[in-house]
């Protein structure tokens, strides 16, 4: 029987890495999620890319032809140009909520990747920033692709639509960050299906994506104003149709930022409570 | 079928997965009322054999009969008379403890009043009465195992098949489980089990076969196997060296046989103390020297040159 | 542990099981309904997820029917009648609800039971066989689909979006949709390796949902694409429900029924065979 290879035991052979600066500790977290993604991107990229395109075709062109022939479009513009900026904002919500629900709970409870990270010099804030940064990059990617596809179908009336990229990423973050906070309080995934059914779907259908808010009963409109999605939809539409009202846009941006900051603080607290015990 | 005919009879039983031969033409017979074991390391072909006997895996070759019936054609009729405890608990985590037994009984065609009465008895037997309304997930490993056994008894099986019944349980939970299996045996239930723990095989089995690489390498009662394939005692020596093999030559001849393990030397002899004295007389200074009785582990080591648990 | 229960009586096969016996399908014991019973028992612990699944089609109905309906006003159906947009879209959403309910159950839930809970491993250690597993799960999906479509129909009727007595047949028609999709869904699930593969299910369901003449009539599609739409399964479900709920009834509807029934049977046989291959190797 051969001898086992001997383990290095002398202190001189140890290879302790140099401590690295605090400000860069989120980067390995970001890199970790990117590595994970490399294993699963195929199915994901197709559904993420095709879903909004299908909605564009079905709603913008198919349904659009009905709307345009019945009422001559919405507010004087073809339905395609009306609805596609809304779908752009809605898709950032899909990506945001999809990427931050099961994954976050899994990293806390099932695969426990967060716990593994916390056993290293990485801290709770680094985990949050790195992971949210990763989701933001995914939203940016999906938005960029969709902007190009929309252009091919003539869905944008103005170059100002390029500014919709940062606004859409911000809209997505206004969903990502609260969902992080929510996921960190959950014991199992039952709450997510409730969230998708009673938050995501109603927002998608009633936040001015498909028809102007004034079609809603008056008492429902203020609810739409509070949701991040309406701010993204309305801002995107302003930019894409080439008539940006800068004061409005400033308001939308400020509101979305407020949501991100407040829920970011809640998420940090929830993560600490869950992971540092 | 007559009463002295074996309950389970296999001859030339073979299982192939593609090119890999998991079970190589084995023969065995299990008599009514006995506790019969398959002992062997992981990958010896024990589970494949159990799955064929449980009629959930068709044999590739040879003959297999349970209660005189052919699994290939009479699967449902045979399964109706078997109780199966798989290696991993397959409890229904969407249901409560008692519901697990109810539903399982219904799969055997028992009526609702029958399964309820039966569940009460079985939960008592498995010492789970207080957890009847609990979900399955929070139960401890030992409790889940007992529930799986209780569930497998719902149809009052003639043969209970247990695949690695105590793997992964802590020592106390294992003893509780062995106690329950003893009771079943006393009531005349035929037990067929696989294990890679020699203590389990010694505790539970009247008769066992030792399996390795898909073949049966020995058969008999635990006591007979030890007598035939090992010595009465074993002297275990540990030295302060990197490789115990270098010392093997120096203890050669101090007993009937020497085995070298990574962390110790085993000297097989009928008188362990005498061998220990010879070790000292030879000028060797082990860190520790221990004399113990031979076990099935030693039988296995002798037969295959390998240990059971690695 | 001293009382010995009487030997189990030979179970009498249920109706669906007896039907399934005429198919070239692996063995079963005619006890699929026990699996349905097991699912009903589990459902009592998880009814919230089940019941809230109803919300989605109803939200779509009000968003599209009412909100968008004000922009679209009326639609000329492929059958030639002019109806409000809500009336036009309600039957399609009913068909989609039947599809979604059935697919969710026969894919996600079945995959979990197959790969993680190992439910079928324990079922197959009893007298039940692979046919019982397939028939049982598909029957359960059917019941689930019937619940969703029934509740949806009720909402549509109360909201005044249904005007024909033929709509009474919309419910049995929805069963054919559920059957086709749950059987094919379960068949497809037996090929899945991990949750990642479920992206492909979404990828199949989404276009069906959007492009089965669901939200706009077949005549709106470019003529080269129309035949493609007519080959897909949900189109037949939508056309069937729309014909019944708008009272545009003709023998042509039987074609849709036949399409869905054949699809369902193919899925059922395939699912049972795959379960046998996966678990009884």
- The span from the CA of C280 to the CA of C274, in Å, is 10
Asked if A7 is an interface residue toward chain B (Cβ–Cβ < 8 A), one would say: no
Check residue C69 and report its DSSP letter. H
B245: closest chain A residue by CA = A1
Q: Which pLDDT score is estimated for C13?
A: 58
- Domain final residue pick, B193, B221, B249: B221
Asked if B94 is an interface residue toward chain A (Cβ–Cβ < 8 A), one would say: no
Strands (E), chain B: 8-17, 20-30, 35-39, 61-66, 82-85, 159-163, 190-195, 207-212, 215-220, 233-238, 257-260, 265-269, 288-293
Asked, for residue C211, whether it belongs to a domain, the answer is yes
Same domain, B123 and B199: yes
Asked, for residue C20, whether it belongs to a domain, the answer is no
Asked, for residue C130, whether it belongs to a domain, the answer is yes
Indicate which CATH number applies to the domain containing B195: 3.40.50.300
Asked, for residue C19, whether it belongs to a domain, the answer is no
Q: Which DSSP string corresponds to B100-120?
A: HHHHHHHHTT--HHHHHHHHH
Task: Work out the minimum CA distance from C231 to partner chain A, whole angstroms.
Answer: 18
Q: Which pLDDT score is estimated for B296?
A: 86
Q: Count other Cβ atoms within 10 Å, centred on residue C18.
A: 11
- The span from the CA of B235 to the CA of B259, in Å, is 10
For residue C114, pLDDT beyond 70: yes
Asked, for residue A103, whether it belongs to a domain, the answer is yes
Asked if A36 is an interface residue toward chain C (Cβ–Cβ < 8 A), one would say: no
Report residue C52's pLDDT band, with 50, 70 and 90 as the boundaries: confident
Asked, for residue B188, whether it belongs to a domain, the answer is yes
- Put simply, the answer to whether B106 touches C34 (Cβ < 8 Å) is yes
Same domain, B149 and B59: yes
User: Which of A39, A62, A199 is the mutation pick for testing C, counting most C CBs within 10 A?
Assistant: A62
- The contacts of residue A32 (CB under 8 Å, 6+ apart) are A113, A117, A130
Per-residue pLDDT of chain A (277 residues; tens, 9 = 90+): 444 455 555 555 667 777 678 888 899 999 999 988 887 776 677 767 788 889 899 999 999 999 999 888 888 899 999 999 999 999 999 999 989 999 999 999 888 899 999 988 889 999 999 999 999 999 999 999 999 999 999 999 999 999 999 999 999 999 999 999 999 999 888 889 889 889 999 999 999 999 999 888 888 888 889 999 999 999 999 999 988 899 999 999 999 999 999 999 999 999 999 998 7
Closest CA to C53 of C143, C147, C161, C189: C147
Report residue C24's pLDDT band, with 50, 70 and 90 as the boundaries: low
Q: Which pLDDT score is estimated for A6?
A: 54
Domain that holds residue A82: 44-275
Same domain, B209 and B246: no
C28: closest chain B residue by CA = B76
Asked, for residue A14, whether it belongs to a domain, the answer is no
Asked, for residue C158, whether it belongs to a domain, the answer is yes
Among partner residues A44, A51, A210, which is closest to C67 by beta-carbon distance? A210
Asked, for residue C4, whether it belongs to a domain, the answer is no
Asked if A62 is an interface residue toward chain C (Cβ–Cβ < 8 A), one would say: yes
Asked if A79 is an interface residue toward chain C (Cβ–Cβ < 8 A), one would say: yes
Same domain, B159 and B64: yes
- The contacts of residue B271 (CB under 8 Å, 6+ apart) are B232, B233
**Residue C53: helix, strand or coil by DSSP?**
coil
Q: Which pLDDT score is estimated for A190?
A: 83
Task: Work out the minimum CA distance from A112 to partner chain B, whole angstroms.
Answer: 19
Task: Work out the minimum CA distance from A71 to partner chain C, whole angstroms.
Answer: 6
- Put simply, the answer to whether A4 touches B262 (Cβ < 8 Å) is yes
In chain C, residues with a C-beta closer than 8 Å to the C-beta of A202 are 59
C1: closest chain B residue by CA = B121
Domain that holds residue B280: 231-293
- Put simply, the answer to whether B17 touches C3 (Cβ < 8 Å) is no
Same domain, B208 and B237: no
Q: Which pLDDT score is estimated for C15?
A: 59
Q: Which chains touch A (3 or more CB pairs under 8 A)?
A: B, C
Asked, for residue A9, whether it belongs to a domain, the answer is no
- Put simply, the answer to whether B75 touches C128 (Cβ < 8 Å) is no
Please state the three-class secondary structure of chain A as a single string.
CCCCCCCCCCHHHCCCCCCCCHHHCCHHHHHHHHHHHHHHHHHHHHHHHHHHHHHHHHHHHHHHHHHHHHHCCECCECHHHHHHHHHHHHHHHHHHHHHHCHHHHHHHHHCCHHHHHHCCCCCHHHHHHHHHHHHHHHHHHHHHHHHHHHHHCCCCCCHHHHHHHHHHHHHHHHHHHHHHHHHCCCCCCHHHHHHHHHHHHHHHHHCCCCCCHHHCCHHHHHHHHHCHHHHHHHHHHHHHCCCCCHHHHHHHHHHHHHHHHHHHHHHHHHHHHHHCC
Task: Give contacts of B 246-265 with A, CB under 8 A.
Answer: 260-262
- Put simply, the answer to whether C124 touches B124 (Cβ < 8 Å) is no
Q: How many domains, chain A?
A: 1
Same domain, B117 and B266: no
- Put simply, the answer to whether C211 touches A55 (Cβ < 8 Å) is no
Q: How many domains, chain C?
A: 1
Asked, for residue C14, whether it belongs to a domain, the answer is no
Q: How many domains, chain B?
A: 2
Same domain, B177 and B137: yes
Asked, for residue A165, whether it belongs to a domain, the answer is yes
**What is the complex's ipTM, to 2 decimals?**
0.84
Asked, for residue B300, whether it belongs to a domain, the answer is no
Same domain, B94 and B239: no
Taking residues C171-191, report their average pLDDT. 95
Per-residue pLDDT of chain B (310 residues; tens, 9 = 90+): 455 689 999 999 999 999 999 999 999 999 999 999 999 888 899 999 999 999 999 999 999 999 999 998 888 899 999 999 998 889 999 899 999 999 999 999 999 999 999 999 999 999 999 999 999 989 999 999 999 999 999 999 999 999 999 888 888 888 988 998 999 999 999 999 998 887 888 889 999 999 999 999 999 999 899 999 999 899 999 988 888 888 888 888 888 888 888 888 899 999 999 988 888 888 888 898 999 998 888 888 888 877 766 5
Task: Give contacts of B 18-77 with C, CB under 8 A.
Answer: 54, 56-58, 75-77
- The span from the CA of A19 to the CA of A39, in Å, is 30
Asked, for residue C7, whether it belongs to a domain, the answer is no
Same domain, B242 and B207: no
> Tokens 């929830």 map to which residue?
A270
Task: Work out the minimum CA distance from A271 to partner chain B, whole angstroms.
Answer: 25
In chain A, residues with a C-beta closer than 8 Å to the C-beta of C62 are 205
- The span from the CA of B165 to the CA of B177, in Å, is 8
Among partner residues B57, B93, B118, which is closest to C5 by beta-carbon distance? B118
């Amino acid at each position: 029987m051969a001898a086992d290879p001997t383990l290095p035991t002398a202190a001189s052979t140890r290879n302790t890495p140099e401590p690295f600066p605090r400000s860069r500790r989120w980067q390995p977290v970001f890199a970790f999620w990117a590595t994970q993604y490399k294993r699963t991107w195929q199915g994901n990229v197709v559904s993420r890319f095709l879903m909004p395109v299908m909605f564009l075709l079905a709603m913008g062109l198919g349904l659009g032809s009905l709307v345009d022939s019945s009422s001559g479009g919405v507010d004087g513009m073809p339905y395609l140009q009306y609805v596609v900026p809304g779908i752009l904002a809605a898709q950032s919500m899909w990506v945001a909520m999809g990427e931050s629900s099961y994954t976050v709970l899994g990293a806390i409870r099932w695969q426990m990747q967060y716990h593994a990270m916390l056993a290293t010099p990485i801290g709770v804030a680094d985990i949050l920033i790195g992971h949210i940064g990763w989701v933001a990059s995914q939203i940016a990617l999906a938005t960029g692709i969709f902007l190009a596809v929309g252009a091919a179908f003539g869905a944008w009336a103005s170059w100002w639509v390029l500014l919709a990229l940062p606004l859409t990423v911000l809209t997505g973050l206004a969903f990502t960050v609260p969902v992080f906070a929510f996921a960190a309080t959950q014991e199992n995934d039952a709450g997510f299906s409730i969230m998708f059914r009673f938050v995501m779907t109603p927002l998608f259908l009633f936040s001015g994506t498909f028809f102007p808010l004034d079609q809603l009963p008056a008492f429902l409109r203020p609810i739409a104003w509070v949701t991040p999605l309406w701010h993204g939809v309305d801002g995107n539409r302003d930019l894409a149709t080439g008539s940006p009202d800068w004061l409005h846009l400033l308001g939308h941006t400020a509101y979305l930022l407020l949501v991100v900051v407040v829920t970011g603080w809640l998420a940090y607290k929830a993560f600490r409570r869950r992971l540092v015990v | 079928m007559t009463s002295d005919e074996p309950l389970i009879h296999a001859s030339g039983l073979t299982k192939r997965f593609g090119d890999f031969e998991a079970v190589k033409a084995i023969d065995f017979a299990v008599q009514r009322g006995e506790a019969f074991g398959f002992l062997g390391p992981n990958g010896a072909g024990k589970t494949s054999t159990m799955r064929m006997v449980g009629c959930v895996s068709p044999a590739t070759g040879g003959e297999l009969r349970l209660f005189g019936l052919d699994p290939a054609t009479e699967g449902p009729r045979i399964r109706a008379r078997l109780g199966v405890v798989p290696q991993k608990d397959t409890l229904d985590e969407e249901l409560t403890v008692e519901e697990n037994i109810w539903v399982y009984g219904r799969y055997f065609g028992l009526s609702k009043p029958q399964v309820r009465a039966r569940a009460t008895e079985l939960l008592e037997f498995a010492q789970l009465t207080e957890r009847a309304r609990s979900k399955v997930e929070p139960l401890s490993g030992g409790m889940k195992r007992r529930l799986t056994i209780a569930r497998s008894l719902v149809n009052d099986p003639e043969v209970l098949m247990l695949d690695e019944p105590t793997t992964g349980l802590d020592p106390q939970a294992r003893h509780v489980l062995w106690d329950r299996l003893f009771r079943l045996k006393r009531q005349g239930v035929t037990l067929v089990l696989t294990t890679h723990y020699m203590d389990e095989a010694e505790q539970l089995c009247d008769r066992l076969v030792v399996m390795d690489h898909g073949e049966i390498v020995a058969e008999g009662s635990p006591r007979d196997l030890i007598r035939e394939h090992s010595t009465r005692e074993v002297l275990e020596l540990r030295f302060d060296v990197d490789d115990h093999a270098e010392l093997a030559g120096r203890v050669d001849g101090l007993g009937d046989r020497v085995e070298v393990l990574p962390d110790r030397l085993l000297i097989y002899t009928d008188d362990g103390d005498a061998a220990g004295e010879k070790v000292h007389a030879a000028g060797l200074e082990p860190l520790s020297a221990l004399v113990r009785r031979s076990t099935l582990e030693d039988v296995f080591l002798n037969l295959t040159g390998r240990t059971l648990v690695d | 542990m001293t009382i010995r229960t009487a030997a189990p009586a030979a179970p009498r096969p249920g109706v669906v099981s007896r039907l399934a016996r005429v198919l070239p399908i692996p063995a079963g014991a005619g006890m699929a309904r026990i699996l349905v019973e097991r699912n009903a028992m589990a459902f009592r612990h998880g009814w919230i997820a089940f019941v809230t699944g109803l919300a989605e089609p109803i939200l779509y109905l009000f968003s599209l029917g009412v909100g968008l309906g004000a922009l679209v006003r009326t639609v000329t159906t492929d059958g030639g009648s002019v109806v409000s947009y809500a009336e036009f879209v309600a039957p399609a959403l009913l068909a989609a609800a039947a599809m979604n309910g059935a697919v969710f159950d026969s894919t996600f839930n079945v995959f979990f039971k197959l790969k993680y809970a190992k439910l079928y491993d324990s079922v197959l250690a009893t007298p039940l066989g692979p046919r019982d597993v397939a028939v049982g799960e598909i029957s359960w999906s059917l019941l689930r689909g019937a619940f969703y479509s029934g509740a949806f129909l009720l909402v549509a009727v109360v909201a005044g979006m249904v005007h024909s007595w033929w709509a009474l047949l919309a419910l049995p028609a929805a069963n054919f949709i559920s059957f086709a999709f749950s059987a094919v869904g379960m068949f497809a699930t037996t090929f899945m390796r991990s949750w990642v593969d479920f992206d492909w299910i979404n990828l199949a369901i989404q276009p069906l949902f959007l492009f089965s003449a669901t939200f706009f009539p077949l005549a709106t599609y470019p003529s080269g694409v129309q035949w493609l739409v007519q080959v897909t399964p949900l189109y037949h479900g939508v056309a069937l429900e729309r014909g019944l709920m708008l009272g545009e009834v003709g023998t042509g509807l039987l074609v849709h029924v036949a399409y869905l029934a054949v699809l369902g049977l193919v899925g059922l046989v395939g699912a049972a065979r795959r379960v046998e291959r996966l678990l009884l190797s």
